[in-house]
Structure 1
Amino acid sequence: MYTIKIDKDHKKKHHMYGMTAILFILFLSFLSSVNIVSADYDFDGVPFNDQLVKVVHDSVIGGVIVDGGHGIGNAKNSPYYTQSFSIPNGQITYSRMYVGVWGGTETKTGTLQTTINDHEFDSIDLEGKGDTNENVYCSGHGVYWVVYNTTKYTTSGSNSAVARTSGTIDGRVYGIILVAVYADESSEQKVEYWINEGNPNLYSSSDSHPSGNKEANAYFSGINNIHPPAARLSVAYMTGDKGQNDYLYFNDNKLNGDDVAASSGSFDLLTFDVTDYLESSSNARFDVGDESYLHPVLAVLTVYTGDLEEESDLIVKKVAIGELCTNNENIISANIENIGTSPAFGFSAALYSNDIMVSKAQVSSIGPDKNISVNFTWEPVYTGRCILRVMADYTDLVAELRETNNNNSPFSVDILDRTPPNITIDQPQYDQTFTYETITAKGTIEEVDKNITMVVNGVDTVCSGGKWNVQIPIDNGMNKIIVNAIDGSNNTATEFVIVHADFNGSGQQNVTDTDLHNNSIIDENSSTQMNESSIYTTNCPGAVTLLCLILFIYRIRRAT
C-alpha cells in the first residue's frame, strides 16, 4: 500500500499558474476582437485604412463651424502658412484644428510649429515611416494630418493660425481647418454633430501595393431625427487632382458628380446638403476612382432641429470696410439678414473682388427676422481699384423664397500699399576689405509695386526681376554702402553695410586671399569659401624694405 502525500502549497501554485494562463488567453482573445486606435505610420492609412474614426458626437444650442483650407502653400519661409477663421458670437464649447503637411516622401523628416491666436503649441517632430505621435496621422508617401485641441485658444470673431515647417521634408502645407462648436444663449436652434477624422491613403494600385486601397467610410450612428429641417455633410481631402475622377456617396447617394476632390491646390473643403438622405445609421463613402492618390481626412455631419419649411430669405444688409492694404490681413464685415419666415441652416457667405472669390465665412443658422455679422479676411496682392461684393449662401444650399437677392450692390474700393520695400544686400559683405576703387554691389528687393526707384551711394540702380546690381566707387579706408528704395506709393526703405578699402596694402589682416570674382580681400577665418586661384600677400612694409636693402648690398658686393 502506497501513501501519497499531497503538497498543498504546490497544488496552490499549479492552480495559480493555471488561472494566470487562462486569463492571459482571454486577454489575447479580447485584443483580437478590439480595434486598438494607433497613430503609428501606415502606408494605407492611420488609424485605419478603410475609415475615419469618430472623435465626438454631441449636440449644442448654437452652431458648428467648419472653416479654413485655401490650398497648398509655403510654410518653410516667412510669412509662412497663415489661415484666418470667423466664428459667430457665442461661447466656444469645443474646438479642434487640423494642419495638413506634405513630406515629399515617407523617408524624410522635419518639424511642425503651429500657432493659433498667439498661442504656440509645442514643436512636433514629423518622423515619416517612424512617426508615432499620438496627434499625427501619417500615411502614404509622407502625407501628414496633424490634430490640435484648440478649445481653450479659440474665440468668437476673427481667429488666425500660422504653420511653420523645417527639416528635410518638402514642408508645404496643404491647408488648415478649424472645427468650432459654440453655444448661443440667444439662439433657439439645436444642432447635433458628429466629427470623424483620420488619414486613409486611397489608391487603385502601385508596384509595391498591387491590390490598392480603393474605399474608406465615415460612420454616423444614433441619428434620431431622420426628417430634420436641414442636414449638412462637410468633408476635407488632401492630394486630390482636378480632372481625375473620384466619388463621394452618402448612404449610397452620389454627391457632387464624378470629380469631387477637384481643387487646383491639392486641398478641398466641401459642404453638401444631405437632408433628404438621412438614415438612423448613416455613412459617407469615399471612392478613389481614377485618382493617383486621395486622402479623405475629415467628415463632419450636422443635423438641425425645428420645423421643415422652405420659407427663409437671405440678404446682405450692410458691408463695413476700412482702409484696404496689400501685405495685410484686412477684415471686411458683412451683416446677413434672414427676412423670411423660417430659419436658414448651414450655409456659407463669400467675398468677391472683380468677380473672383477671395474669402468665405460659414454660418451655422439664422432664425427668421434675425441677422448675423460675419467677418471676411483678405490679403490683397496688388494695388489699385477693384469691385467688391458679398454673396450669402454662395453654394446655394438653402432653399429660399427668392434666390436672386443674395448679393449686395457691388461697390469700388482702392487697394493701398503701406508696406515699405524689403531690401537685401547680398554683396558686399559686412566688414569686407577691398583693394580696388570700384566694387560691385548687388542684392534683392521684395516689393508689390512695380514702380520702384533705387539709389546706391548716390548711383541710380536698375532693379529687374526683384534683383539689383550696380558698380560704385569707394575710398581708401572705411566706407558705408547705403541702399535707398522708394516705391510708387512713397514707401521708403534703407539698408547699409560697412566695408573697408586698402589700396596701399597696409591693412591689419595678416594673411588674406583675393577673391578674383569681386576683387575683395577676405580674412582666412572668414566663412567665405576660397577659390583655387587665390594669391597670398603680406601687409608688412618693414619686411619689404629689409628685402630691398639685402638685394642692394648683394649687388654692390657682386660689382666689387
Structure 2
Amino acid sequence: MHTARLAAIPCMLLVIFLITAPCAALYDFEGLAFRPAAHGEVRGVVITAGSYGLTDPPAECTITLDRAPVWARIYGGVWGGTEKYSGWAQFSVNGYSLDPVTLYGEDDMNVDVYCSGHGVYWIVQDATALLGPGENTVTLSTSRGEADSRIDGRLYGVMVVAAVETGDGDLVRYVVLEGNENLHGEGWAGTNPTRKDRVEVPLAGMVTDDTTTAELSVFLLATARGQPDYLLFNGADLGTAPQDETYLPGALDIGNERSFDAAGGAGLETRYVDMESFDVSDDLQPENLLVFERGRDLDGDGTISTAGATPEGEDYLHPCLAVLTITRPDSVSTPLLSVNSLQVADAYAGGEATVAATVRNTGSPPAGPLTVEVMVDGLPLESRQVSLPPAGWVQIAVPWEPSGGRHEVAVRVSADGAAPAEAGISVQVGTPVDLAIAIGDPVRRGGAAESAVSTPVPLAGGAAGVVLGWWLCCRRSRLSGLLLVAAVMIAVLAVPLAAADNGASGQVISYTLPVEIRNAGGSDAAAFDVDVFLDGERAARLTVPGIAPGGIIREQVPLHTWPGTHEITVIADEKGVLNDVDHSNNRADGSVLFL
C-alpha cells in the first residue's frame, strides 16, 4: 500500500444519457474516453492511496483521513482474461459490503464499469459517505475460483481518491478524470486489426496565478517492463530516461511495472500496473493537454516494434485515471462556474426538443444552490434552482417546442459569491434530420512496404483462446509464450493462416476509407456516432459533433487489413439518437476491393 498526499420525458432522459455517455460505460474494445469524475477546490488535501500489482483476490488498501471527505471515489482494476466471459466484483468499505457488480465483458452496460480491450475492467464507485476520520479500509473481491465463474478475476489493484477539507493551509484545486483507453498495436485487435498509438486528454479551466505547485498523477493498467511508452503534458515528455541498455536512445518507459519511479527514485515493484506522479508546475497552463503514447518509431522504419532486443513500444496499454492538483497559497476561495456540452436535441418544427448542458464548478463549493436559466432568442424559457453534488458537476435538461427558423439558445448559471457563466448555440429548425451515408474506394496509406505489418494469427477454438488469454496476462518469456500458443493452436485449429481471396502475401496494409455523411433534412443534426464495420467486425467509430441542414462531412477512416475484397458496412446513428426522418439511408453496405 502506498499513500500520496424537468419533465420526465423519454427524449429528455435520452439526452441526459447521451451527455453522460462515458459514465454509462458501454464496453468498447478501442477504449472508453476519459471524463471528469470530479473537480473542485478545498482548503486541505487531495489524497490518493492504493494497493498496486496483479494479485489474487481479495485486495485491500487503507487510507487515513483527518476528516470526512467532501468527495471520495474508490477504484479497482480486474483482469477478465477475455471479453467473452462474465463474473462479478464487490467492494467493501470499513466492513460494509457494497452491492456486487456483474462484469459482462463485451456485453457490459454497467454505469460504474469501464471495460475495454480483451477484458480489462476499471470499476468505480462513489465513497463520499462511506469514508470517515481515521483509518479506512477498502477491500475488493471477485468471483475468481467459483464453480460457475469463468472470468480470470485477478486484481490489478484497489485505490482511493479523496478530497478533504481541513479548514486551514493552502487551497488545492483538483480535477479527477477516469476512463479506460486501450492503446494497442495491430496484433492485439481481433480478426481485422486496428491500431491505437495515442490518446489526448484535455484539462481545461485551470488557474495559473499564484500557483505554488501542480502535481499530475496517472494510473496505467496492463503495463510491461522493457516496452517503452510515453506521457506528455502540454507537449513536454514526463519522466526520466531508463538506465538500461536494452532501451533505444530517447526511449522512456512510464509503464515499467514499477510505481512511483518515473520521475526518479527506486519506486515499488507493481506487476502489470503503474501509478506515477509528476511535478508539472513549470508546464501548467489555463488550457492543458495530457497525451498517452504506447510507443514511438525510434528507428524510422515506419512501425512501432514491440519485440526483439530493443522494443519501441507496448503491445497494449490501458490508461485509466488522471488526477491534477494545483496548490495555491492562502488566498480567497471562490466558486468558478462554467457551462459545457450545450446541445439541443430533436429540434425540428412541430416537435419537442430538449436543451441539455453540463454545469460545472471547478472552484470552492458555493454557499447555496445554483440558478440555471435557459433562454431562447434572448427570452427566458425556464429558470430553476439546482443543487451541486460533491463531484462538482450536474446535468440539466429543459424541454422546448421550437418554431421554424434560426434560434439562439443560451444557458446561464449563477451563484452567490461567484461570477456567472454562460454558453450559447445557434440552432436551425425546419424539417426533421435526414442523414445519408456514402463510401468511396479505399486508398493505401504510404507505400506497401512502409504500411505493411505482420498478419496476426487468427484466434479460434476455446483452448487457444484460454491459453492466449493466460499468456497475455502473465506475459512470460516471449519465446516460450509464443511456442506454447503456437503448439496449442496447431493442435486445435484446422483453419490455415489465409490472406485475402486473391492469394495475397498475408501482410496487413494500412488504408483510408473515404466516408461521406450528409444531412439532407431541414434541421441541425446534434452529435452522433458513425460506426464502420469490416467483414462484420466493428473496425472504427467516428464521433460527429453535428451537421447543419444541407451540410456534408467527409472523413478518411483508417483501416488495417489485407488486400482483397472485403465487406464494408457504415452506419450513422446506429443507436437511434436522432429523430431521423428516413433511417434507410443511414447505412451503406458493399463488397469493396482493397488494392
TM range (shorter): 0.3 to 0.5
- Report the TM-score when normalising by structure 1: 0.46
- Report the TM-score when normalising by structure 2: 0.44
